[in-house]
Structure 1
Amino acid sequence: MRKLLLWCLLLPLSGYSQQRLHLTLLGGFSNYQGDLQTKYFTLNQANLAVGAGLQYDITPHIAARIGFHYGSLEADDKQNTGQLRARNLNFHTKLMEGSLLLQYTLFDLSDRRISPYVFAGAAIYHFDPYTYDTLGNKIFLKPLSTEGQGLPQYPNRKEYMLTQFAIPFGGGVKFRVSENATLGFEVGIRKLFTDYLDDLSTRYVDPLILASQRGLKAVEMSYRGGEVKGGNPNYPALNTIRGGEKAKDWYYITGITLSIGLGGKGGGDSYSGWNGRRSQIGCPRVRQ
């Protein structure tokens, strides 16, 4: 009798857990805002991004998400104007991110077909900025210390880490297309704690010191105005502003999402395990 009662207690919980787990997919674009891309949100110079993860529904409104995103970021002064264009710097980087998020959905999708939602959490991301020289050679920028990072002559300019912590947050709208799936549109912004996502932050250093410590290629990649037609080939004076050091960089991932319920009928944000919609499998009543 005890085993029968235990089975009756665990069976509904087992059904609910099957209906609360979802596979999530994202296809869209990634972009950044910083010293080479001054617009806060734009499709200009955006790149494709993809993502996948799992979502566990704690309640019909609150869910925990774990996910992985892959994309790329880039920006070029040739897309800027005025003095920024004359600087002629650019960067590219592959972007890999793992995140853990808490999501709040305004409406219960058991009762409605559409609902807005918001999310926030923590993320670890990896980047490695690079560019191409005039011969088309791929040049990674961090080892060059283009602003004196890590050089003894500039003790206050520390080397930046290529794997860092970020705070992701954002929101979207999702639409239930079946009992087992939802489609949505999501905008996710990442607050960073570095200004070197684009290898650009502060002021120019002494080119002689930079050349002696990191080589002539470092000097060549730290200022490229001479490559522009009619540009100034002379290296800027010491401490001339190169980037805006007061503001950190950002990046964002935006796209179409698909959520598919795992483990049986009633997934995909349908929440059929709540609101009294229990499994039809029952247990015999025990007479006293």
Structure 2
Amino acid sequence: MKIIINRLQSFCNYSCVIIFTIFIQNSPYLFAQNSFYVPHNTLSVGAGTASYYGDLSPYSRPIQSTIDEIRWNIAANYIHSFGNHWSTRVGLKYIRIAGDDANMLGVKGKEARFVRNLHFRNDVKELSLMMAYDFVNAPRYYAKRKLLSPYLLGGITAFLHSPEAKTPDGTWVKLRPLNTEGQGLPNYDTPYKVWGMGAAVGAGIRIKLSPHLDLGLESSFHYAFTDYLDDVYGKYASNTDLTDPLAIAMANRSGEKVAILSGIDRTEGIRSYVVLKEPFYANPATDPFTSTSIRNFGRAGTSRGGSALKDGYLVTSINLIFHLPNKVVCPKY
């Protein structure tokens, strides 16, 4: 038995040597994808649109939520390509997003959101770290790349934000310091942070314009790990707890007769909500804002927000991409 074991060990050792030798001899071919590729760097700048999804622009209406209150973004990226298909990039974006309950006018099942009458805008300053996969196999030198190069990307984001809204007299104010849902007060949630983290996925295509310049088209969805990009998340706070008149006015805006952003008269939209519970207000001569339904709307402890998903935004941009020349290394003799 001992002789058999020794012979098996010798055979295994001999086999391992042969396999290792074959591996070493053929390693240039096994790793040919990266061994002949010359890494290089690019810079890109761009601008485009931004659309918000959340409590004031529901995910359940993706097309309308993309169009309603569409805003803008500007961006810059530094990209390092290290393989035939793979690259990493660091990006900076300045993104304006916005939402308005007035867009829910006449939308079946969203009548209470129209009554709620909240709105916001938020300038999100975002830093991202992404990985990208190019579908087209890159040549050894970037100047010989294909005309079209589609790609996928994904990564993590970190951002600063501060939602704002217009007061009834038309002045923009920051909402976080007002603690509109009682944040920071006893028996309420803690105040939300001015920074946050998130994840992003997207796709794009680069179009070669010259050996050193591309035109890029890209769209990416950014999901925030917070539900406060719009300052709306939980329940209405008690007016006796808020105490600040401005906080009270910004927390519950259901009694305002005009939507402050769009300027539309809300009377008939409110009437269509009220008559379902109080048919008396079907009479055009009546004022639906005096109804019990509206006077009790936003009572302390009732839902102010609470989407199943956290807030997010879709960013679409047109980019100019500059390929940086590789460093020339002179041979040593």
TM-score by length of 1: 0.80
Deviations 1:115-138 (A, max 9, x none): 221111121111100111121222
Alignment of 1:171-190 (within 5 A): 171-190=203-222
Instruction: Provide the residue aligned with 2:95 in structure 1.
Output: 71
Q: Which residue of 2 aligns with 1:217?
A: 246
Deviations 1:137-181 (A, max 9, x none): 222111111112111132xx1211111111122111222222212
Q: State the partner residue of 1:248.
A: 310
In 1, distance between residues paired with 2:231 and 2:57?
13
> For the Cα contact (< 8 Å) 2:72–2:97, is it kept in 1?
no
Amino acid across the alignment from 2:82: I
1:3 aligned partner:
none
> How many angstroms apart in 1 are the aligned matches of 2:331 and 2:57?
63
Q: In the alignment, which residue of structure 1 is the partner of 2:277? A: none
> What amino acid is the match of 2:120?
F
Q: Is the CA contact (8 Å cut-off) linking 1:109 and 1:176 kept in structure 2?
A: no
2:283 counterpart residue number: none
SS at 2:248 equivalent: helix
Q: What residue is the counterpart of 2:301 in the other structure?
A: 239
Question: Normalized against structure 2, the TM-score is what?
Answer: 0.70
Partner of 2:69: 45
In the other structure, the counterpart of 2:169 is 135
Distance 1:210 1:261, change over 3 A: same
- 2: CA distance, partners of 1:256 / 1:109: 22
1:28 Cα deviation after fit: 0.5
Is residue 94 from structure 1 mapped to residue 123 from structure 2 by the alignment? yes
Alignment of 1:93-132 (within 5 A): 93-110=122-139, 112-132=146-166
Report the alpha carbon displacement of residue 282 of structure 1 after superposing the two structures with TM: 7.8
Match of 2:112 among 83, 94, 97: 83
Number of residue equivalences: 251
| 1:78-107 Cα shifts (integer Å, max 9, x gaps) | 112322111111001112111111111110
Give the gaps of 5 or more residues in structure 2: 1-34, 106-110, 140-144, 258-265, 271-288
Q: Distance between the aligned counterparts of 1:261 and 1:63, measured in 2?
A: 13
- Residue 51 of structure 1 and its aligned partner are, at CA, apart by 0.5
> What code does the residue aligned with 2:187 have?
Q
- 1:227 is paired with a residue of what secondary structure? coil
Q: Which amino acid aligns with 2:114?
A: R
The answer to which structure, 1 or 2, has the higher relative contact order (CA under 8 A, 6+ apart) is 1
Q: Where does residue 29 of structure 1 map in the other structure?
A: 49
Of the structure 1 ranges 114-123 and 193-202, higher mean CA displacement relative to structure 2 is found in 114-123
Pairwise CA distance, 1:112: 2.8
| CA distance in 2 between partners of 1:260 and 1:169 (Å) | 23
Paired residue secondary structure (1:85): helix
Deviation at 1:75, TM superposition (A): 1.0
Report the counterpart of residue 193 of structure 1 in structure 2.
225
What's 1:7 paired with? Answer: none
Choose between structure 1 and 2: higher helix proportion: 2
Q: Which has the higher strand share?
A: 1
